[in-house]
Amino acid sequence: MKETLAELERWGADVIFGRAKGFRASMMRLAMSLLSGVYRGVVQARLLVYRRRWRQQHHLGTLVVSIGNLTVGGTGKTPVVELLARTLRDEGRRVAILSRGYKSRRLKTPQNWKDKDGNKLPAEKMPKVVSTGRALLLDSKFAGDEPFMLARNLNNVAVVVDKDRVKGGRFAVGQLGADTLVLDDGLQYLHLAHGIDIVLVDRSAPFGTGAILPRGTLREPPRNLCRASYILITKCDGTSNDALIERLRRYNRVAPIIECTHGPRYLEEVFTGERQELDFLKDKWTAAISGIAVPEGFERSVEKLGARVEIRRRFSDHHRFSRREIDKFMERCIERDMELVVTTEKDAVRFPKPKELTVPIYFLRIEVEILKGHDAWSDLIARLCHPGAPGDPVLRHRDAYAM
């Protein structure tokens, strides 16, 4: 059943991106196009409901910064979340990352947590605490890929998972002492008020396929970019982005634009932690395996580093690898005399150890570097580190929301 659903998910992605051909795929695209009109209407109506205050947003008494995008996956959001959280932490903020924990498993029983008075917190007030900032409490199965990866990489930054991010935020403020909440993938989460919205735009596909879900990869129409406080153009390669910036300015004339690159930094062995410089890949016969939204970009990065990518194995985004799948893949690598296997850091957190580890498995560490817009980035950090007074409409008195 699991394999069938995964196959359907992959086929659906092939339909959306135009890779699937034939009558059945054409009919599916037609049906998706009709549903896209309905989806667009629902999205815009929902925004109107919050804009007119027919439904109230929650204010948690501290600054909330959202990092999100208009498209589904592939913009390089997690490294940006990590960079922002690390920078704010180093500037003295008490940071908590709020995530919904996409495709994470539910805990059989809530975690045991006692408040400052020694009283056990009721189950209905308990989110999943991936990390307190000092201790890692959950694995990737229950935390989700990105939250676990962030928690593992960020000391002194709390990571909290719950679909209800108002509940998660209240816990982070009341129990963990957070004074800055980073809302991971939060542009569409309107139930919690955002002080600042950072919107990521992938340079190579700024508006995805150009069509709204389910026909395309846009969650919202491009005109909704007007909600961005800051725009980050991701995955830049050093060439001019003037044409893209002109296009973005049609939808948002005032938000500062920051250009950054998502560059590989080193290789790390998944099971031993051994690190290698990037030139370690040069001329190596390599197998690439991933379960991410845009595997082509990852594979191109590996090839640009000089690897001879002979085998490509792609799974659906957030796919949880089984031991059987990995053993089968490793057998193929051995038969083809591969020298190493490369995966992504996000995939590495859910990579089961194969029965035979005769071919080493590395993940490619990706980090963000600001190329242009350093002043805008510095301004963003300054605004977050020195927020307004309690009377500011974005920053409400935190004691009113104590648990």
- What whole-number distance in Å separates Cα of residue 363 and Cα of residue 270? 6
- What whole-number distance in Å separates Cα of residue 100 and Cα of residue 87? 22
Terminal CA-to-CA distance of the chain, rounded, Å?
42
388 is in an annotated binding site: no
> Which two three-digit tokens encode residue 298?
């990852």
Where does 161-241 have alpha helices with state H?
165-176
75 is in an annotated binding site: yes
Query: Which helix or strand (DSSP H or E) is residue 50 part of?
Result: helix 23-51
72 is in an annotated binding site: yes
Q: Which residues have CB under 8 Å from 78's CB, separation 6+?
A: 146, 149, 150, 184, 346
Helices and strands (DSSP H and E) totals, the chain: 11, 13
Place of tokens 């002979």: 310
Pick the closest to residue 79 from 289, 294, 264, 273 (CA basis). 264
The angle at the Cα of 347, spanning 201 to 352, to the nearest 5 degrees, equals 170
62 is in an annotated binding site: no
Pick the closest to residue 182 from 103, 47, 82 (CA basis). 82
> Which two three-digit tokens encode residue 328?
């089968």
Angle between helices 145-153 and 77-90 in degrees, nearest 10: 30
φ and ψ of 270, to 5 deg: -60, -40
- Residues linked to residue 65 through DSSP beta bridges, in sequence order: 182, 196
344 is in an annotated binding site: no
**Contact assessment for residue 72 and residue 219, using Cβ atoms and an 8 Å cutoff:** yes
Give residue 214's identity as a one-letter amino acid code.
P
Mark 183-207 as b/e (b = at least 16 C-beta within 10 Å). bbbbbebbebbbbbbbbbbbbebbb
Pick the closest to residue 346 from 106, 147, 99 (CA basis). 147
80 is in an annotated binding site: no
Residue ranges for the known binding site for ATP are 71-78
Residue ranges for the known binding site are 71-78
